[in-house]
Amino acid sequence: MLVEAISLPTLERARQHLTECYLCEHRCGVNRANGEQGPCKAGVTANVFRHRVECGEESELIPSHLFYLSGCDLRCKFCIAEENAFNPRLGTELTANFFREALDWGRTRHAINVQWVGGEPTIHLPAILNVMAAVDELPSIVWKSDFYGTPESLDLLTGVVDIYVADFKFGNNDCAERLASVPRYVEVITRNLLHASMQADLIVRHLLLPGHFDCCFRPIIDWMARRLPLAKFSLRDGYRPRWLATRDSELSRSLTAAEIGRAERLARDAGINLIH
């Protein structure tokens, strides 16, 4: 993708969120440039706590150069990044020079794309767009997100992102409130999935959680079959109890083979586009 896709008006619209932030559906409106903090606690700069080339993604994405940004708008009890996901001050500042050098390193390891992950990249959209605009030519851009952003943030990515990888974590609002501390989850995520499906290629990813088959997984499959039957759906069965999940009666164990098999059968029977 050529850098010209990131226009000056896009960069300016992104910067406006630093003085009145509506990048995620918390819609806090804080002035980050003056040091105010919303639920994600992000400021003006973004930090990368890890970047590396990985081959554990969906087959069409690998090898992928993942940039992990610290800070998140969700508070998932089972987050595998643990404290790195929630403290936006951790890591190395994302600058144009840092990004150029990292891109060169990734190319030597045959990465076919750049994947922005977190934490949550959406809360750092102004910084991400700035560094990408400073590079003469970019590889394919993958946006791996919890998808709790706003339509305004998705619009900033029009023509910039080649592939969205969207987490569809919960099938109801109660589980989202209890496990991730966010309201109106289902309404927000489904709205954004439909929006993104008209912008770029879309992979919807779900991490299967123990004890959440009927309350979360089944409603997600039902919605996908009705509204996005052709979208690629990636069922992730590698859940391990991490972070605060070890204290949760349902989430403190790993998945069983029977649970994984049952989920795969339901997805296939629903006729959705299951990928690996």
Average pLDDT, the chain: 95
Say how far apart CA 100 and CA 136 lie, in whole Å: 10
| Token code pair at residue 167 | 């987490």
Phi-psi region of 271 (alpha: psi -120 to 50; beta: other; left: phi over 0): left
Between strands 163-167 and 140-145, the pairing is parallel
Report pLDDT for 82: 78
How far separated are the first and last CA of the chain, in Å rounded? 25
Report pLDDT for 1: 45
| Token code pair at residue 155 | 């619009």
Report pLDDT for 243: 86
pLDDT tens-digit profile of 213-235?
A: 999 999 999 999 999 999 999 99
Positions of the chain with pLDDT lower than 50, given as ranges: 1-4
**pTM summary value:** 0.95
Instruction: Check: CB of residue 276 under 8 Å from CB of residue 56.
Output: no
Partners of 166 in beta bridges: 145, 204
